[in-house]
Amino acid sequence: MRVGSKFDGNKVMMEYIGATGIPITFNSVPIFDNIDFHFILSFAIDADPSAIPQNGKFSPYWEPSLTPESVAAIKAQHPNVKTLASLSGWSLGDTVLRWNNPPNPNLWISNAFSTLQALVVKYHLDGIDIDYENFPKHDSNFAFCIGELITLLKNQSVILVATIAPFYSTVPPYLELFHGYGEVIDFVNYQFYTDKVKTAEAYLKTFELRAKQFGRVKLLPSYEVNGRGIQGDAFFEALSLLDENGFDVNGVMIFSADASLSNDFHFETKSQQFLLNSTTP
């Protein structure tokens, strides 16, 4: 039996945090009421500090200022906050991380389940985000391992939320995962900034393409602060264009809070204002 997706109807704000080594606290980030605010701690990695793979044994590598005590405090202060651990990311130090097909998938799943369960308890987490970004050219058992892991974590009531974070070159393995296990995946944090579109009209076309692949309901528009792709007010023009064209803008994903320290979290504030004022249900 597989537990279904959890979506209670509120708009969702996804915010990656702690990936760059910049000291940051949850309290720095503006959190609006009536928004389901998901902090995504970046990253939990199944490798040792030298980036040697550990066969599904995950350890936290996010900014040390994001302590278990601070997670508990922000959730007590804002009951609408949830916290997730993002798995893998691009690199650990100077080493690019890759999905390594485990020779024994069931052992990998068992290791991942037990170590993530421990992280969930220690850091008061509500879910996981899947952000593996490099894959072997030959057939991968990624979809099976991750899909069964999410299913197990949900069936055992370890997590409530599971998200995935594909981008243009990782669409195939994530589509395989989504098609096989979409019922246990709550949101798709597609990294639209990697498509490098600069205008609202181009963003709409790219969103239409990814909505055909991953569906309209769970797909969230995304923005990279001081980064690639659409920038500035053009992003909010794109959100309005999506709204006008009948897309359910159920939430926004931003990468990352670390970068937003330099601009007083302008995009987090304006994104939440848009979500609360948009016409989509």
Measure Cα distances from 45 to 57, 180, 190, 278 in Å: 8, 24, 20, 36
Catalytic residue status for 224: no
Q: Is 26 helix (H, G, I), strand (E, B) or coil?
A: helix
In three-state secondary structure terms, 112 is helix
The closest alpha carbon to 275, from 10, 31, 6, belongs to 10
Q: Which of 63, 133, 224, 268 is catalytic?
A: 133
> What's the token pair of residue 9?
């109807």
Beta-carbon count within 10 A of 136 CB: 13
Task: Indicate if the alpha-carbon torsion angle 117, 123, 125, 129 is positive or negative.
Answer: negative
Residue 256 and residue 265: Cα distance in Å, rounded? 10
- For 131, the token pair is 């952000």
* Residues known to be catalytic: 133
